[in-house]
Structure 1
Amino acid sequence: MTDTWPDIAPAAGTPACGPPSFAPERGWWVTRHADVRAALTDPTFQVPVVAGGPPGTLAWLRASVSRFSSPSRHAERRSIVVTALHALDPDDLRQEAARLTGAVLDRAGGRLDVMRELARSVPLRVLAGRLGLADPVAAGTAVAVVAAAYHPGVDVAHLRRADRAVATLLAVVPPAAPEVRANVIGLLVQACDATAGLIGAAAHHLLPRPGGDPSGAARTPELLAEVLRLDPPVRATRRVTASAVRLGGRELPADSQVLLRFDAANRDPGVFAEPAAFRPGRAGAGLLTFGAGERGCPGDRHALALATGVLDVLRDRCRRTPAPLCHEPHPTLAVAKTLEVSVR
């Protein structure tokens, strides 16, 4: 068959592209591709500061990782993550993710929930093992607990569970300076929901339904790039303006709360011809889901390798069941709750 794909409609709540817009209850939304890229690369738009906490707690972790660091600390902390990732071979990650996925499918019987059995557990287990954590399985479980409480707004019970999970991770991460250990853990936490969300979205869109044709001969990495554009697991990221700034024809005051909408920018009709069309291999697509500039994701190749390893096996051995797709509640991420497949 030829690789013919249906359009992918925007997720509920995805705004249309337009000039930066303001509402008192939500602050500024930035939706156009050029404006989002400009904000990502302009130091005036800074990551919101987080409060610290006692060593070994979730608050300590958040305040120690490069993601939430001030401009004065970001570069040195990011270098810890870059160094850790440099030692990892993406092709090795892909092969190990495929091996573990195949082993899970071998034990699954006729049906399997991709989200529960594969999307979080396999990438985290592979990444934790290659980063030298003493117990990759226990680490993966603890990382998922931390990730669930990583963003603001969680209740006290979740925070206490996350504190205990951070302690579990510190017990299995290789010995190093506290800041190094925090950023290794932060790397795992960053990979948790984003990679799971990508695998879930890709399985939803790419796996054939019962009675349908297989998903074609297109290579998985090219397919994943279009899933990242059209149905990104990271929908948006937050910034605060350090001073008054002009963006997209609008004047944003100092201390403005800004939400950069990747989901809208990746569908900007001024950048992407037929933006709703699923076209693997788009030339010069300008994908923004991994960010841009000094705070762009340093692990994009590794995340894609892990997702590719899982999806290669799923495409070969599984079909989607017709159950509707529901997502976990989250302000900036899109991660499916469940996604059932039949196993061949």
Structure 2
Amino acid sequence: MTDTWPHIAPAPGTPSCGPPSFEPERGWWVTRHADVRAALTDPAFQVPAVDTGPPGTLAWLRATVSRFSPPLRHADRRAVAVRALAPLAPDDLRLDAVRLTVAVLDRAGDSVDVMRELARPVPLRTLADRLGFADPAAVGTAVAVVAAAYHPGVDPALTARADGAVTALLALAPQGPPEVGANLIGLLVQACDATAGLIGAAAHHLLPPGVPTTARTADLLAEVLRLDPPVRATRRVTVDEVRLGGRDLPAGSPVLLRFDAANRDPQVFTEPATFRPGRPGAGQLTFGTGERGCPGDRHALALATGVLDVLRERCRRGLTPMSYEPHPTLRVPTTLEVSAR
């Protein structure tokens, strides 16, 4: 008998693959796998500049982390994250996540909200502890506040709260230069919504009754990450005139690289809409690629695997509709209740 895996339809607003397209009010959208990959590795496409602010504020954090750094500063700041993650064995992170998830479920009773109790707290507490932060539970709470305001253009009230959270996180960070502390906080912020979104999507698609219990969790997560990515897109701006996908993009053009579309490109993925665990040569782009590819992709997947391993063994969820937090580029469920089997 053949396993019947879930059908994961494109999220609302996911464009089809095609040549780069331009609209005056939104700039350039890039949707084909080859074009997105080319833009991620071409120095003519740079991360948009961000303003800085006084030390210890959210603006200072954004301007100091590798995520938003200009080319001349990026490599050194990225190296901070790479060095911090190097001693963290992914399997140790997975086992830590298993232990924390079991503890939450043991005291939860008949049901638990995956998003509130597991998807954010477990990865953040695990990673904060392994990175040497004091009081990992408090760190997780503060990181969630920073993450809500991390991307430019949010409500000023969120920014004011995030300023206080950044100051608190620096006090809890391992002793060292402020720039190092900022980039350790940046790792936690990057893990917050993206890892939570992956765990939430996987629980949504894989825990309803009738979904097979076969296949490794890691293989299942790879297909969830491809078909329902928590990070739907990333922004770039052209610093030179450049040709991409048969189109000429002027210097200074805003560009949105659509991972959600590229991950369904029929030129790259056979039967791209089909959920196929263990798909050979997956090639999904959600973690990026090139010199700005996510330095913690294996660690994020290990944390998500630990949580999902336990949920698959102990929990099921009903076929209730999902709602998502409002965000232009992230896809994170608001709540997701599961019940003990």
TM-score, structure 1 normalization: 0.98
Tell whether the 8 Å contact from 1:47 to 1:68 is kept in structure 2 after alignment: yes
Matches within 5 A, 1:245-260: 245-260=242-257
Post-superposition CA distance 1:233-291 (Å, at most 9, x none)? 00000000001000000000000000000000000011111111000111112110100
What is the SS of the residue equivalent to 2:316? strand
- How much has 1:2 moved relative to structure 2? 4.3
Per the alignment, residue 279 of structure 2 pairs with 282
- Alpha-carbon separation, structure 2, partners of 1:248 and 1:237: 18
Matches within 5 A, 1:238-249: 238-249=235-246
- Alpha-carbon separation, structure 2, partners of 1:146 and 1:307: 21
- Alpha-carbon separation, structure 2, partners of 1:184 and 1:108: 31
Tell whether the 8 Å contact from 2:235 to 2:254 is kept in structure 1 after alignment: yes
Tell whether the 8 Å contact from 2:207 to 2:316 is kept in structure 1 after alignment: yes
Post-superposition CA distance 1:78-129 (Å, at most 9, x none)? 0000000001111000000011001100011111110011000000000000
Instruction: For 1:206, give the aligned amino acid.
Output: L
Q: Does residue 291 of the first structure (1) align with residue 288 of the second (2)?
A: yes
Tell whether the 8 Å contact from 2:114 to 2:335 is kept in structure 1 after alignment: yes
Tell whether the 8 Å contact from 1:3 to 1:216 is kept in structure 2 after alignment: no
- Alpha-carbon separation, structure 2, partners of 1:107 and 1:178: 38
Instruction: For 1:125, give the aligned amino acid.
Output: R
Instruction: For 1:56, give the aligned amino acid.
Output: G
- Alpha-carbon separation, structure 2, partners of 1:243 and 1:69: 18
Per the alignment, residue 123 of structure 2 pairs with 123
Tell whether the 8 Å contact from 1:111 to 1:343 is kept in structure 2 after alignment: yes
- How much has 1:296 moved relative to structure 2? 0.3
What is the SS of the residue equivalent to 2:62? helix
What is the SS of the residue equivalent to 1:60? helix
Tell whether the 8 Å contact from 1:143 to 1:188 is kept in structure 2 after alignment: yes
- How much has 1:6 moved relative to structure 2? 3.3
What is the SS of the residue equivalent to 2:255? strand
Tell whether the 8 Å contact from 2:120 to 2:195 is kept in structure 1 after alignment: yes
Instruction: For 1:273, give the aligned amino acid.
Output: T
Tell whether the 8 Å contact from 2:6 to 2:206 is kept in structure 1 after alignment: no
Post-superposition CA distance 1:165-195 (Å, at most 9, x none)? 0011011101101110100000000000000
- How much has 1:321 moved relative to structure 2? 2.1
Runs of 4+ displaced beyond 4 Å: none
Gaps of 5+ in 1: none
Instruction: For 1:224, give the aligned amino acid.
Output: L
Gaps of 5+ in 2: none
- How much has 1:152 moved relative to structure 2? 1.6
- How much has 1:208 moved relative to structure 2? 2.6
Q: Does residue 314 of the first structure (1) align with residue 318 of the second (2)?
A: no
Instruction: For 2:267, give the aligned amino acid.
Output: G
- What is the aligned residue count? 341
Per the alignment, residue 321 of structure 2 pairs with 324
- Alpha-carbon separation, structure 2, partners of 1:108 and 1:6: 27
Per the alignment, residue 182 of structure 1 pairs with 182
What is the SS of the residue equivalent to 1:240? strand
Instruction: For 1:248, give the aligned amino acid.
Output: G
- Alpha-carbon separation, structure 1, partners of 2:16 and 2:71: 31
Per the alignment, residue 340 of structure 1 pairs with 337
Per the alignment, residue 85 of structure 2 pairs with 85
- How much has 1:7 moved relative to structure 2? 2.5
Post-superposition CA distance 1:4-54 (Å, at most 9, x none)? 213311000000000000001100000000000000000100000100000
Per the alignment, residue 27 of structure 1 pairs with 27
- Alpha-carbon separation, structure 2, partners of 1:322 and 1:207: 9
Per the alignment, residue 103 of structure 2 pairs with 103
- Alpha-carbon separation, structure 1, partners of 2:156 and 2:49: 20
Instruction: For 1:80, give the aligned amino acid.
Output: V
In angstroms, what is the RMSD of aligned CA positions?
A: 0.9
Tell whether the 8 Å contact from 2:6 to 2:205 is kept in structure 1 after alignment: no
- How much has 1:204 moved relative to structure 2? 0.6
What is the SS of the residue equivalent to 1:335? coil
Instruction: For 2:20, give the aligned amino acid.
Output: P
What is the SS of the residue equivalent to 2:181? helix
Tell whether the 8 Å contact from 1:3 to 1:218 is kept in structure 2 after alignment: no
Q: Does residue 304 of the first structure (1) align with residue 279 of the second (2)?
A: no
Tell whether the 8 Å contact from 2:170 to 2:178 is kept in structure 1 after alignment: no
- Alpha-carbon separation, structure 2, partners of 1:228 and 1:75: 27
Q: Does residue 46 of the first structure (1) align with residue 46 of the second (2)?
A: yes
Per the alignment, residue 208 of structure 1 pairs with 208
- Alpha-carbon separation, structure 2, partners of 1:84 and 1:92: 15
- Alpha-carbon separation, structure 1, partners of 2:216 and 2:141: 31
- Alpha-carbon separation, structure 2, partners of 1:149 and 1:206: 30
Alpha carbons of 1:155 and 1:6: their partners in 2 closer, same or farther (altered >3 Å)? closer
